[in-house]
Structure 1
Amino acid sequence: MKSYFKLFLILGSLAAMMTIFIAVIGFIAETSPPIMAYNMAAIAVISFCLSYLYPIFNEKNERRQWIQQKGMTCTSVAVLLYVSFFMLGVQFEWIRLSIVEVLALVTSLGISTLYISFVVLAKVY
């Protein structure tokens, strides 16, 4: 079990370093970070969260199912809020991103919210 913890931490660290590298290149070029940076950030969050969640999700019990159900509920509400915020931001030109960038950002935020909510719920319950 400890080997999975270390593996997920290593993968998360690599993904975080790649995210930072890609974002720095985008900032040096004076543009928004490339779409790939959002995906790599989501992968880093998934890896770090799974390093904590692996022992919990490895067991097939009611606690795991409850955490997954409540996490999906929280994420559904959060994604609706993200979409509403970005729709208003793009419509009133508060956010100057292309639609593809907004979709990538909403997807990455949704994925990150899901796994972070799993960790929070696992710690609380």
Structure 2
Amino acid sequence: MKSRLGYLIIGFLLLIESAYFLYGGISGDFPLFPTNALIFSLSVMFLSLGYLHPQFKNKDERMKVIREKGMFYSYFILMFYFSLFMILIHFQVISISAMGVVTILAALTIMTVFLSMVVLSLLL
């Protein structure tokens, strides 16, 4: 995508869709699915890309540092997520299907990577 506005529009549309599914799940009209977390994570991704677009369109050293450090920090946070899920499932604190775990971990991965880049762009 070539414009910041496009990222922001798609991000807000996905955020509205995620809020609709969350409301429907809470009110009991339809069940809460882990895919709602995936839709929410995609909205976070597009909103983050909308924020990062002015910095990422210039292919300079700062952009490369933000991407590298963002992926580096995300790796360790993701290892924490995996360990936490293994512990919670092993001790039967949560009962969730394999598809639910994979969907939630995918959503957490997307959000962690892009939010770490946003935080690093603010700090660097």
- TM-score, normalised to structure 1, is 0.89
Shift of 1:99: 1.8
Show the counterpart of 2:4.
Answer: 5
Separation in 1 of the partners of 2:31 and 2:111?
A: 20
Q: Distance in 2 between matches of 1:43 and 1:84?
A: 23
Worse overlay, 91-100 or 41-50: 91-100
Aligned residue for 1:104? 103
For 1:5-24, list aligned pairs within 5 A: 5-24=4-23
Q: Percent identity?
A: 27
Code of the aligned partner of 1:106:
L
Q: Which moved more, 1:22-31 or 1:58-67?
A: 22-31
**8 Å contact 2:78–2:109 — kept in the other structure?**
yes
Work out whether residues 24 and 31 of structure 2, in 8 Å CA contact, stay in contact via their aligned partners in 1: no
Checking the alignment, whether the CA contact within 8 Å between 1:45 and 1:112 is kept in structure 2 is yes
Structure 1 spans left out of the alignment, 5+ residues: none
Q: Decide whether the 8 Å contact of 1:23 with 1:34 is kept in 2.
A: no
Question: Structure 1: how far apart are the matches of 2:115 and 2:57?
Answer: 17
* Structure 1 residues 47-73: Cα deviation after superposition (integer angstroms, max 9, x where no partner): 110111001111111111111010001
**Offset at residue 102 of structure 1 (A):** 1.2
| 1:15 and 1:44 in contact (8 A); partners too | yes
Matched residue pairs, number? 123
| RMSD of aligned alpha carbons | 1.8
User: What amino acid is aligned across from residue 60 of structure 1 in structure 2?
Assistant: K
Unmatched 5+ stretches in structure 2: none
